[in-house]
Structure 1
Amino acid sequence: MTISDTRRLAAGDTLVLASHNAGKLAEFSALLAGHGVTLVSAGQLGLPEPEETADSFAGNAALKARAAATASNLPALADDSGLCVAALDGAPGIYSARWAGPAKDFPAAMARIHAGIGGNPDRAAWFISVLCLAWPDGTLRTFEGRIDGRIAWPPRGGNGHGYDPVFQPVGEARTFAEMPEAEKNAISHRALAFVRFRDDCLPPAHP
C-alpha cells in the first residue's frame, strides 16, 4: 500500500540514494550540501538493484526507492528520467537508458531517434525526471520535473551526457550539450524535480 504524507527529513538524518552510479551520488551529494543530511548510495550499502518493471517514470522511481528503504530501514531517494519524442509516440521514454544498450552507446541511440523521426516535421521532445522519497513504513513522496524542447540534428556540443547533444530546450538556440554544465543543471528536468523535493522534504540549508 502507498502512504503519502507531509513528513520531512531532519538535519542529521541519513538518506539512501537508490543508485549504484558514482556520478549520480556525486551529483546528489552536491545538491544536498548544506542541508545537514548524510547521503549514502545503495551501492555503498551493497543493496541489490531491483528490476524496473513499472510502465511509468513515477512507477520505476517508486520501485527503486521502496526497495532501498525496505532493505536499509532508512529513507531512500530514487530518480527515474528519460527523453520522450512526440513523433515516436513518447519513446524512448522509460526505456531511454536501454536504447543505449549495455555499452551505453548514446550516439547509436540518438541515431535511432533521428531515423525514427524521418521526415516527420514534428520534432517536439521533452525530458522528464521523477524523484521519489520512500520511508521504510511505505510512505512515498513523488516530485516531477519536465523541460520541453525539440530534437536537433546533427548532435551538437561536447558537454553533458546521454541525449543532451540532440535536445534543444524551448527558447534556446543551443542544445543541452552546448551549455555549460552549471547552466544546464539550473534549468534541467532533474533540477526542477529536485527544487520541489528540496522545498517539501529537506531541512533548511545552512552555509
Structure 2
Amino acid sequence: MDIKVNDQTVIVFDLDDTLYNELDYLKSAYKSIAVHFEPEDWKPLYSKMFSLYRSRVNVFEFIVNTYTIEMGFLIEMYRSHHPKIQLFDGVLDVFEAIKANGGKIGIITDGRSKTQRAKLESLNILKYLDKIIISEEIGSEKPSVENFKAIQKALPASEYYYIADNLKKDFVAPNVLGWNTVALIDNGKNIHCDAHKYLDNAHQPQQFIIAYDEINII
C-alpha cells in the first residue's frame, strides 16, 4: 500500500504486537524472574514458567507459592525489568521514510507509563517519535477517542494514519475521527487472538497488511 507523506501527515502506531511481538516481552520478563530466583541454574525454571503460560496456568501464582513471596513484589519485577525485545522487520525503514518526507510519528498505547516507556527505549525508537500517548499518563484507554484527540492536539495535520493490531479496541475511535486505519495481521504470536469476533464495520480497519514491507512511503 502506498502512503503519501508530507509535513501535513501524521502516522501513529500502536506498540504491543504492532511494532514488536508482546510475547517477546513476556519471555524477557520470565527470564529475568527465573534468573532472580535461580541464578545458578535458571533455565529449568524459565522452561517451566513458559510451559505453564502456554498451558493457561497462572504462572505468577506458581512463583508466589514456590518461593513464598508477595504477589506485588513479583508483579513489580515483571513490570520494571529491562526488556530484551526487537522491532519487526521493516519498521525502521518505514520510520526513516516518514521522517525523510517531513511526516510526524506518534504512538498510542495502553499500559503503565514505566513499562511502555521501557519498551520504547529498548526498541531504540525514541528519536523518531514526535508524540507518545500512554493510557496511564492521560487517564483513558482505547477505544476512547480522547487518546486520539490528544495526538490531534499535539500534532495538528491534515491527514492521520493509525497502524495497529487489535480489532477489539484499536480502530473504533480513529474510524470515527476520520483517520486512515491499517491493521497488521497477527503473525501467530499475538497476545490477543480474537480478531474474528470484531469484523463489523465499527471495529474493522480500512486496510490490512501482513508485514511492513507492504508499506510504501511516497
Q: TM-score, normalised by structure 1?
A: 0.30
Q: Which has the higher helix share?
A: 2
Q: Which has the higher strand share?
A: 1
Q: TM-score, normalised by structure 2?
A: 0.29
**Relative contact order higher in (CA < 8 Å, ≥ 6 apart):** 2
* Bigger Rg, structure 1 or 2: 2
